[in-house]
Amino acid sequence: MFHVKQSTVIVVGGGHAGVEAASAAARMGTRTYLVTLRADTVGALSCNPAVGGLGKGHLVREVDAFGGIIGRAADRAGIQFRLLNRSKGPAVQGPRTQVDRGEYRAAIQNAISALPVQLVEGQVADLLVRDGRVSGVLLDDGAELPGDAVILTTGTFLNGVIHMGGETTSGGRLGESPSVQLADRLYGQGLPMGRLKTGTPPRLSGKSIDWSGLELQPGDENPAMMSFQSTGPHLPQVNCAITHTNEHTHDIIRRNLHLSAMYSGNISGKGPRYCPSIEDKISRFADKKSHQIFLEPETLVGETIYPNGVSTSLPRDVQIAYIRSIRGLENAEISQPGYAIEYDYVDPRALTAELEVRDMPGLWLAGQINGTTGYEEAAAQGLVAGLNAASSVQELPPVQFSRTESYIGVMIDDLVIRGVSEPYRMFTSRAEYRLSLRADNADQRLTPKAIELGILDARQRTFFENKMEQIDDARQKMKSVSVAGKTAREAGVNVAGDGKKRDLYALLSIPNVGVSTILSLSPDLAQFDDSILRQLENEATYSNYLDRQVQEVSRVRRYEGLTIPPDFNYQDIQGLSSELRHKLSIVRPTSIAQAERVEGMTPVALNTLIYRLKISRIDSVRVG
Amino acid sequence: MADTIYAQASAPGKAGVSVIRVSGPAAFAGVARMCDLPALRKAGLRQIRDDRGQLLDSGLVLCFPAGSSFTGEDVVELQVHGSLAVIRGVMENLSKLPGFRPAAPGEFTRRALENDRMDLAQVEGLADLIDAETELQRVQAQSSLSGGLAKRVDTWRESLIDAASLLELTLDFADEDVPTDVDTDVAGLLRSVAEDMERELRAADVAERIRTGFEIALIGPPNAGKSTLLNAIARRPVALTSEIAGTTRDVIEVRVDLKGIPVTMLDTAGLRESLDPIERQGIALTRIRAAAADVRVWLDDGSTKVPEGMDIVLLAQDDDGTRGGVSGKTGAGVTELLGRLQSLLESRVPKDALALRNRHRASLERAIASLREICGELTSSPSELSAQRVRDVIRDLQELIGGVDTEDLLGSIFSRFCIGK
Ligand SMILES: Cc1cc2nc3c(=O)[nH]c(=O)nc-3n(C[C@H](O)[C@H](O)[C@H](O)COP(=O)(O)OP(=O)(O)OC[C@H]3O[C@@H](n4cnc5c(N)ncnc54)[C@H](O)[C@@H]3O)c2cc1C
């Protein structure tokens, strides 16, 4: 054996994508640098102090299943936990927590400092490129940091411009400078770029709010934690409150609409349809007399309140006026005004499914820079980029995520195949295998992969293996106990009273049959922890339906295996429309599964592709 | 396990015969319920029966095992008479077999490709096939949806998107200020789509006849003059378009064009009791063809009671045309008969019906059944399951209504509801 130099991965940006990327790369065994503007903003939440939610909670659990940071940090800093859609089935339940902003930042910073990650404070001004490959970064003080792979996770900082009423200032976040030179470099490389916008509401001083008479929203009694390994909240729990806009609020906004940056024509970037500003809500849904506002404490002591639902780019004095027209906020003080921000993003169709820039080898992108929005989306991409940059520099096979097994896979595939037309956010409806990709089984779906990669700490690994053992035991036990139809009916299960015996697992898959019924039929199952039995209940809920999806899933997996070589020439394929040929050469799918999802693809066109692919193989065998 | 798929394939150069191809793991077991399977790779003449044991047709049956079939799966080929009724009957029965569904466009080829059923010699042939399919699909896409039809299909699409997005609204935006009980609206939308599809299927029945032609059966006791009448009709130079004689021993077909409506006239074997087993089979087929025909004309010579279900009853052998009857021998009443047939058929032709192919028909029938089932269980089943099932219906209908993806659902949600905390 001769000594191999340890490879280096440089992560630029200490946001949610950056920290997960650094964590993954470090755990993959590369020398890892995290370069960011300010060490004290690592893990800062730019907007809403909440982690998780519908679809997003799934992503957090998946990152957690890979030993990521976001879930544990959120649990550590959580001051209110709620499982959204608790009354609905497990596939669409989303864990969410309100966090103390400072505690969250601290938890993230602690997690990073516990890893072999070297933090570098500084602004990255440019990329170093050698022989067509990215080979490090140049800091604005002129220092060079060489590395084998660079992961950019600069969020909203590329050519960031902040709008508040008529004022525009350049900035990556309020009070932080934008990255202009770096953006120039990406433009210079000919990467396809676009412009997006988003906004944030004013923050209110907690003391200035009159809470009396506002409807309170407490957290769940049995908090569902974000991380699989957390057992309960760490901090005391607080309430949120709910108030509403009214006609008067709407009047003020309507009268001042022309002053809003969004309406004055200053902003060209496209904003998300699901996160409209209050100006948008009032003009687009004019007949709605009132909009809900959640007052969410940003910290445990509640000195700052985040009014969820009133993001705006109106001038500061108008913000004060409309906020004070709202019940409970009559004397509210604004501690930080709301604003809109416009920024550059890179069209993610320029990326591979490993998030590497196809035409700039050595460069990976993750987070909002790829046109997404949200901490969870950023974190998940950070994980993917970190794992893959580290694999690539160590000449290990890529770590791939399939739509059939994770929300991460769904997101990556959506991004690199479809691109974005507005800031991309996760929804459960994006996952076609939603019934099997649940937040509750993210560890079962993904942790084995992480174990195989060797990136989990011993504690997480043992925890998972014990849990799986118990689940398997309990499932086995349920399947081994069969009861007659009559007995089942007596226990309240709606089955035919025929002579047929059914095992307990089969009974559990019947709608409205839960753990308690099964326990009444076989009391010794009580030896298992309640969480284990609930897990089986979740699994059984959809089992009858999942059988139908198996075929589809296996087809997609097969197509994932039909890989398309990177230099595959679409131009001279007969039988594809020229439009489709053009799309395919932009997206450059790497498998038939990806090609199938390219916009405008038809079954017959796909046949043609599979066919050409197969002949090209036959031809090359013949030639070779 | 993969679905078993079936579709009608044309049989080049063999007019009057249709090939129905079945491919997939359940092909042998499924078709064995309709007839005895011959030995592998050997053609066998078989009686093909429906699930109640009724004879559908007798035709050639061929079985190819997975190793040596075009698709690389078990394949059965049924060569049956090219009559609409026969093909319809066989296809309907296939659709009822477990694990069977109609093939999507290009699906046979897809399976062949996936199973590497190509060696270098086959490759060129397959390329032609793919090109032909592409062209066919283009032409079909243009012709099958036009004008009013396209609009109707768009309405289905929109209603299904609306229903699916209402369900998604309650799942993905539960923490927003949006309606939580959407069951009534969803059921209303789904039901209206199902009802409209049913209407369309009925209309399409007739429309399809326009494409493939109506069948008019001449029925009557032996020697009532059916053949003579048919010959008389066939002899009229304007009417005769083609003649396929002897496609079966017992049924003579003549294709004529009734002012733009293609019609096949069937001269059926005389309906009488017979002891000869072969002739008995012929008579059985005759009854089936006659029963499935669009119009039944009874030539009455007074010798037999007029059976039920006749559309036109005419006095036979009215040689001088004085009694309002018809005569093939002299040609009396023939023009009048054709006029009556024409107006009868015209009254059944709708203005704009979707020219449904068998594949579409089966998809619609499946969709209607699923939609009704979903509506029935909407309140009792978890909404994520209903949402999944609506999506499945949408995907099954993709070929008809176009692809629908999450963006379409989200678009519908964001345009109607104020989302955004
Ligand atoms: C005003 C605003 C409103 C938002 N509203 C919402 C919302 O409503 N809903 C929602 O889900 N999400 C919202 N977000 C988005 C959410 O905050 C981001 O999606 C998420 O933080 C993105 O994570 P990231 O890691 O990609 O980038 P960020 O968290 O932005 O992190 C970027 C990091 O890169 C560093 N950096 C930038 N340039 C350089 C450089 N040249 N050199 C070194 N370091 C650099 C920065 O210091 C920072 O640490 C909003 C963001 C902003 C700014």
pLDDT mean over B3-13:
71
Lowest mean pLDDT among A324-338, B63-77, B269-283, B338-352: B269-283
- Altogether, the residues listed in chain A come to a count of 624
Question: Mean pLDDT highest for which of A528-537, B108-117, B330-339?
Answer: A528-537
Give the residue, by CA position, lying nearest to ligand 1 atom 10.
Answer: A374
Task: Give the integer Cα–Cα distance in Å for B225 and B258.
Answer: 22
Check CB contact under 8 Å for B126 and A611.
yes
Residue B325 included in any domain: yes
Judge: domain A203-338, CATH 3.40.50.12660.
Answer: no
| Residue B359's pLDDT band (cuts 50, 70, 90) | low
Q: What is the pLDDT of residues A370-379, one digit of tens each?
A: 999 999 999 9
The structural domains of chain A, with segments of one domain joined by +, span: 8-199+343-453, 203-338, 458-547, 562-623
The reported pLDDT for the residue numbered B195 is 94
Residue B221 included in any domain: no
Question: Mean pLDDT highest for which of A213-217, A278-282, A365-369?
Answer: A365-369
Q: What is the pLDDT of residues A420-458, one digit of tens each?
A: 999 999 999 999 999 999 999 999 999 999 999 999 999
Which residues partner with B262 through β-bridges? B257
| Residue A478's pLDDT band (cuts 50, 70, 90) | very high
| Residue B249's pLDDT band (cuts 50, 70, 90) | very low
Task: For residue A279, give the nearest of A306, A313, A307, A320 by alpha carbon.
Answer: A313
Does the pLDDT of residue A477 top 50, yes or no?
yes
Lowest mean pLDDT among A242-246, A332-336, B293-297: B293-297
Task: Give the integer Cα–Cα distance in Å for A525 and A520.
Answer: 9
Q: What is the pLDDT of residues A249-274, one digit of tens each?
A: 999 999 999 888 877 767 777 877 77
| Residue B116's pLDDT band (cuts 50, 70, 90) | confident
Does the pLDDT of residue B350 top 60, yes or no?
no
Say which residue the tokens 């009070």 belong to.
A175
Residue B200 included in any domain: no
Say if B17 is an interface residue toward chain A (CB within 8 Å): no
Q: Is B130 helix (H, G, I), strand (E, B) or coil?
A: helix
CATH of domain A458-547: 1.10.10.1800
Q: For chain A, give the longest Cα–Cα distance.
A: 82
Does the pLDDT of residue A601 top 70, yes or no?
yes
- The single-letter DSSP state of residue B254 is E
Which is the closest atom of ligand 1 to the Cα of A182?
Answer: 41
Q: Is A509 helix (H, G, I), strand (E, B) or coil?
A: coil
Among residues of chain B, what percentage have pLDDT more than 70? 75
| Residue B274's pLDDT band (cuts 50, 70, 90) | low
The residue in chain A having the minimum alpha-carbon distance to the alpha carbon of residue B103 is A603
| Residue B209's pLDDT band (cuts 50, 70, 90) | low
Asked whether the beta carbons of B40 and B78 are under 8 A apart, the reply is: no
| Residue A29's pLDDT band (cuts 50, 70, 90) | very high
Say if B118 is an interface residue toward chain A (CB within 8 Å): yes
Of residues B235 and B33, more confidently modeled:
B33
The reported pLDDT for the residue numbered B138 is 46
Mean pLDDT of all residues in chain B? 78
CATH superfamily, domain at A8-199+343-453? FAD/NAD(P)-binding domain (3.50.50.60)
Does the pLDDT of residue B131 top 60, yes or no?
no
Asked whether the beta carbons of B265 and B288 are under 8 A apart, the reply is: no
B161 to each of A236, B209, B361, B407, how far by Cα in Å? 44, 32, 21, 11
CA angle B258, B260, B263 (to 5 degrees): 45
Does the pLDDT of residue B237 top 60, yes or no?
no
The rounded Cα A23 to chain-centroid distance in angstroms is 16
Task: Give the integer Cα–Cα distance in Å for B165 and B129.
Answer: 39
Expressed as residue numbers, the domain containing B343 is 226-257+265-293+313-348
CATH number of the domain encompassing residue B339: 3.40.50.300
Total structural domains within chain B = 2
CA gyration radius, chain A: 26
The reported pLDDT for the residue numbered B139 is 46
Say if A3 is an interface residue toward chain B (CB within 8 Å): no
Which is the closest atom of ligand 1 to the Cα of A181?
Answer: 41
| Residue A328's pLDDT band (cuts 50, 70, 90) | very high
The reported pLDDT for the residue numbered B353 is 42
Of residues A579 and A350, more confidently modeled:
A350
User: B38 CB contacts (<8 Å, ≥6 apart)?
Assistant: B44, B46, B61, B62, B63
Say if A292 is an interface residue toward chain B (CB within 8 Å): yes
Asked whether the beta carbons of A126 and A136 are under 8 A apart, the reply is: no
Say if A486 is an interface residue toward chain B (CB within 8 Å): no
Q: What is the pLDDT of residues A72-83, one digit of tens each?
A: 999 999 999 999
- Tell me how far apart the terminal alpha carbons of chain A are, to the nearest angstrom: 34
Which is the closest atom of ligand 1 to the Cα of A19?
Answer: 25
A403 to each of A51, A381, A432, B244, B388, how far by Cα in Å? 23, 14, 8, 55, 16
Asked whether the beta carbons of A105 and A86 are under 8 A apart, the reply is: no
pLDDT mean over A145-164:
95
Task: Give the integer Cα–Cα distance in Å for A494 and A506.
Answer: 12
Task: For residue B299, give the nearest of A431, B307, A57, B291 by alpha carbon.
Answer: B307
Task: For residue A414, give the nearest of A363, A349, A346, A344 by alpha carbon.
Answer: A349
Which stretches of A542-602 are DSSP H helices?
A: 543-561, 578-587, 592-596
Mean pLDDT of all residues in chain A? 92
Task: Give the integer Cα–Cα distance in Å for B4 and B33.
Answer: 14
CA angle A323, A324, A325 (to 5 degrees): 90
pLDDT mean over A100-120:
97
pLDDT mean over A477-496:
87
| Residue A195's pLDDT band (cuts 50, 70, 90) | very high
The reported pLDDT for the residue numbered B238 is 36
Task: Give the integer Cα–Cα distance in Å for A155 and B186.
Answer: 40
Of residues A62 and B152, more confidently modeled:
A62
Mutate to test the pocket of ligand 1, among A20, A34, A41, A46 (most ligand atoms within 8 A of CB): A46
DSSP for B6-52, written as a single string: EEEE--TT-TTEEEEEEESTTHHHHHTTTSPPPSTT--EEEEEE-TT
- Side-chain-facing half-sphere of A357: CA atoms under 13 Å: 26
pLDDT mean over B124-137:
51
Q: In angstroms, what is the span from residue A368 Cα to ligand 1's centroid?
A: 6
| Residue B19's pLDDT band (cuts 50, 70, 90) | confident
CA gyration radius, chain B: 25
Of residues B360 and B339, more confidently modeled:
B339
The residue in chain B having the minimum alpha-carbon distance to the alpha carbon of residue A293 is B421
Does the pLDDT of residue B135 top 70, yes or no?
no
Task: For residue B336, give the nearest of B252, B240, B233 by alpha carbon.
Answer: B233
Among residues of chain B, what percentage have pLDDT more than 90? 25
Task: Give the integer Cα–Cα distance in Å for A360 and A346.
Answer: 13
The rounded Cα B380 to chain-centroid distance in angstroms is 35
Q: What is the pLDDT of residues A524-559, one digit of tens each?
A: 999 999 999 999 999 998 888 887 788 888 889 999
Check CB contact under 8 Å for B172 and A429.
yes
Q: b/e per residue, A157-193, with b = 16+ CB within 10 A? A: bbbbbbbbbeebeebbbeebebbbebbebbeebebeb
Q: Is B76 helix (H, G, I), strand (E, B) or coil?
A: strand
Say which residue the tokens 């079939």 belong to.
B69
Does the pLDDT of residue A151 top 60, yes or no?
yes
Give the residue, by CA position, lying nearest to ligand 1 atom 50.
Answer: A47
| Residue B294's pLDDT band (cuts 50, 70, 90) | confident
Asked whether the beta carbons of A611 and B113 are under 8 A apart, the reply is: yes
Return residues 119-178 of A near B (CB < 8 Å): none
Lowest mean pLDDT among A89-93, A220-224, B141-145: B141-145
Among residues of chain A, what percentage have pLDDT more than 90? 74
| Residue B140's pLDDT band (cuts 50, 70, 90) | very low
pLDDT mean over A280-299:
91
Does the pLDDT of residue A127 top 50, yes or no?
yes
The reported pLDDT for the residue numbered B34 is 96
pLDDT mean over B25-37:
96
Chain A residue numbers touching B381 (CB-CB < 8 A): 511
Q: In angstroms, what is the span from residue A14 Cα to ligand 1's centroid?
A: 9
Task: Give the integer Cα–Cα distance in Å for A433 and A410.
Answer: 10
Task: Give the integer Cα–Cα distance in Å for B321 and B331.
Answer: 9
| Residue B232's pLDDT band (cuts 50, 70, 90) | confident
Does the pLDDT of residue B355 top 90, yes or no?
no
Domain covering A562-623, topology: DNA polymerase; domain 1 (1.10.150)
Residue B184 included in any domain: no
Q: For chain B, give the longest Cα–Cα distance.
A: 89
The reported pLDDT for the residue numbered A42 is 96
Best mutation target, A422, A607, A621, to test chain B (most B CBs within 10 A):
A607
Say if B383 is an interface residue toward chain A (CB within 8 Å): yes
The reported pLDDT for the residue numbered B120 is 40
Q: Please say which residue of B80, B114, B148 terminates a domain.
A: B114
Task: For residue A435, give the nearest of A424, A449, A445 by alpha carbon.
Answer: A445
Q: Is B216 helix (H, G, I), strand (E, B) or coil?
A: strand
* Two structure tokens written together for A239: 């309430």
* β-bridge pairing A133-139 and A78-84: unpaired
